[in-house]
């Protein structure tokens, strides 16, 4: 599995909702893909972010940083080429990253 597949499986395993992957190549210098999803509680948001971190590290990838974990409203997990944004359901609509990066094509992730 590649890094994107590992991250997708991790969020899916923790029952993240509305998982969207944006192809940021040529749009953002920060990452090749942004993954956006949400959890329904602080605990679920933290569980999703923790699973992404643990599964990436288990596969030999470096987690560059993880921000927002303690507040569990918007957790950013920077895996380098892939950045995972885990929102609390109450925050996702407010920040609306999918609209902000509306010119980015959606990617399907093969399992």
CATH code, domain with 50 = 3.30.460.10
Q: Is the predicted pLDDT of residue 110 greater than 80, yes or no?
A: no
Range of the domain at 27: 3-100
Does residue 46 sit in helix, strand or coil?
A: helix
% of the chain with per-residue pLDDT over 70: 99
Q: Is the predicted pLDDT of residue 5 greater than 70, yes or no?
A: yes
How many domains is the chain partitioned into structurally?
Answer: 1
Residue at 87 is within a domain: yes
State the pLDDT confidence band at 108, using cuts at 50, 70 and 90.
confident
- Its pTM stands at 0.94
Identify the pLDDT of residue 111. Answer: 66
Residue at 81 is within a domain: yes
Distant-in-sequence, close-in-space partners of 86: CB < 8 Å, separation ≥ 6: 11, 16, 37, 38, 39, 45, 48, 49, 52, 74, 75, 76, 77
| Measured distance CA(54)–CA(50) in Å, rounded | 6
Residue at 105 is within a domain: no
The string of pLDDT tens digits covering residues 55-78 is 999 999 999 999 999 999 999 999
Residue at 47 is within a domain: yes
């Amino acid at each position: 599995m590649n890094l994107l597949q590992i991250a997708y499986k991790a969020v899916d395993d923790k029952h993240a909702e509305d998982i969207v992957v944006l192809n940021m190549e040529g749009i953002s210098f920060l990452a090749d893909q942004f993954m956006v999803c949400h959890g329904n509680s602080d605990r679920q948001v933290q569980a999703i972010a923790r699973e992404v971190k643990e599964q990436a590290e288990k596969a030999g990838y470096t987690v560059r940083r993880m921000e927002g974990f303690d507040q569990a409203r918007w957790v950013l997990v920077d895996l380098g080429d892939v950045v995972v944004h885990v929102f609390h359901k109450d925050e996702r609509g407010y920040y609306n990253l999918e609209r902000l990066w509306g010119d980015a094509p959606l990617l399907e992730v093969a399992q």
